[in-house]
């Protein structure tokens, strides 16, 4: 189960800038904190709600949220066009193809962004969308609920009970949410980011997917360790 920004696509900076600009354009809220871990849930829907509650004294109306979402995606598309499109995290395309072709793995997406932005980024980076179950911020504010919904949709899509879930993400909030769901966790990052993921409790960390064998080994070891910790093996 994969997060999107920073995990499969190199889009964190573009996403953050477009999000903050849209908050200013739609709600007149400049200077909103981009310390995403300071919000109750690190999801677009929660951040917009809490930013509005702090900045204009109320939650946004549904029509305002939709206006914001359209403006955000518009800005994201414009920014991506200027830099020649969104790039994949190195090796992501080949890695996903191998997972899907193997028949041994069931792939799902679960991220804190809205579906419109997440699917745009995946497609812009040349990553697969069709046939892969997903859940995003449209479905729930809570990352845990998003993950669990993606899990449930994956079981329907693949027609079987799925155990040994491994969540792959790049944020410390991803580690915490995976743990609360009882999932193993493989982090994607390097330098200070990798150190933060390790401190947060990531089972394994990779810098990218160029060494597919190393990534798959990290997935298998993480799943086995989580199963042992839970007393399932």
Strand partners, 7: none
Residue 54: which domain range? 12-82
pTM: 0.95
Strand partners, 184: 166
Residue 1 lies in a domain: no
Residue 50 lies in a domain: yes
**Mean pLDDT, residues 15-39:** 93
Residue 115 lies in a domain: yes
Residue 119 lies in a domain: yes
Is residue 154 pLDDT above 70, yes or no? Answer: yes
Whole-angstrom Cα distance, residue 96 to residue 119? Answer: 15
Residue 229, pLDDT score: 79
Residue 223 is part of a domain; what is its CATH number?
3.40.50.1000
Q: Check if the beta carbon of residue 8 is closer than 8 Å to that of residue 65.
A: no
Residue 198 lies in a domain: yes
62, 82, 102 - which closes a domain: 82
Residue 187 lies in a domain: yes
Provide the pairing of β-strand 134-135 with 166-169.
unpaired
Statement to judge: residues 55 and 108 lie in one domain: no
Residue 28 lies in a domain: yes
Statement to judge: residues 140 and 104 lie in one domain: yes
60, 82, 104 - which closes a domain: 82
Statement to judge: residues 134 and 108 lie in one domain: yes
Statement to judge: residues 50 and 99 lie in one domain: no
**Mean pLDDT, residues 21-48:** 93
Statement to judge: residues 137 and 218 lie in one domain: yes
Mean pLDDT of the chain: 95
Q: Check if the beta carbon of residue 151 is closer than 8 Å to that of residue 109.
A: no
- Structural domains in the chain (count): 2
Greatest Cα pair distance, the chain, in angstroms, is 54
Statement to judge: residues 25 and 51 lie in one domain: yes
Residue 103, pLDDT score: 87
Statement to judge: residues 177 and 73 lie in one domain: no
Residue 56, pLDDT score: 95
82, 114, 142 - which closes a domain: 82
Residue 87 lies in a domain: no
Statement to judge: residues 73 and 98 lie in one domain: no
* Confidence label for 30 from pLDDT (cuts 50, 70 and 90): confident
pLDDT tens per residue across span 112-145: 999 999 999 999 999 999 999 999 999 999 999 9
CA R_g for the chain: 17
**Mean pLDDT, residues 20-37:** 92
Residue 32, pLDDT score: 87
Statement to judge: residues 36 and 62 lie in one domain: yes
Statement to judge: residues 97 and 169 lie in one domain: yes
């Amino acid at each position: 189960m994969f997060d999107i920004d920073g995990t499969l696509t190199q889009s964190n900076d573009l996403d953050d800038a477009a999000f903050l600009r849209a908050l200013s354009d739609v709600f007149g809220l400049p200077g909103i904190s981009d310390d995403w871990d300071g919000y109750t849930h690190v999801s677009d829907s929660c951040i917009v709600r809490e930013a509005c509650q702090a900045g204009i004294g109320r939650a946004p109306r549904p029509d305002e949220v939709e206006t914001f979402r359209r403006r955000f995606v518009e800005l994201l598309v414009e920014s991506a066009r200027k830099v020649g499109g969104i790039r994949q995290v190195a090796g992501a395309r080949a890695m996903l193809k191998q997972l899907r072709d193997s028949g041994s793995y069931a792939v799902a997406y679960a991220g804190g962004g809205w579906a419109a932005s997440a699917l745009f980024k995946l497609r812009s980076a040349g990553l697969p969308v069709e046939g892969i179950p997903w859940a995003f911020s449209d479905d729930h504010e809570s990352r845990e609920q998003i993950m669990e919904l993606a899990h449930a949709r994956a079981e329907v899509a693949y027609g079987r009970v799925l155990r040994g879930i491994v969540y792959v993400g790049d944020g410390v909030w991803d580690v915490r949410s995976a743990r609360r769901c009882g999932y193993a966790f493989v982090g994607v990052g390097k330098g200070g980011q990798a150190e933060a993921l390790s401190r947060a409790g990531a089972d394994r960390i990779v810098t990218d997917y160029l060494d597919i064998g190393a990534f798959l080994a990290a997935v298998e070891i993480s799943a086995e360790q989580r199963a042992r910790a839970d007393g399932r093996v």
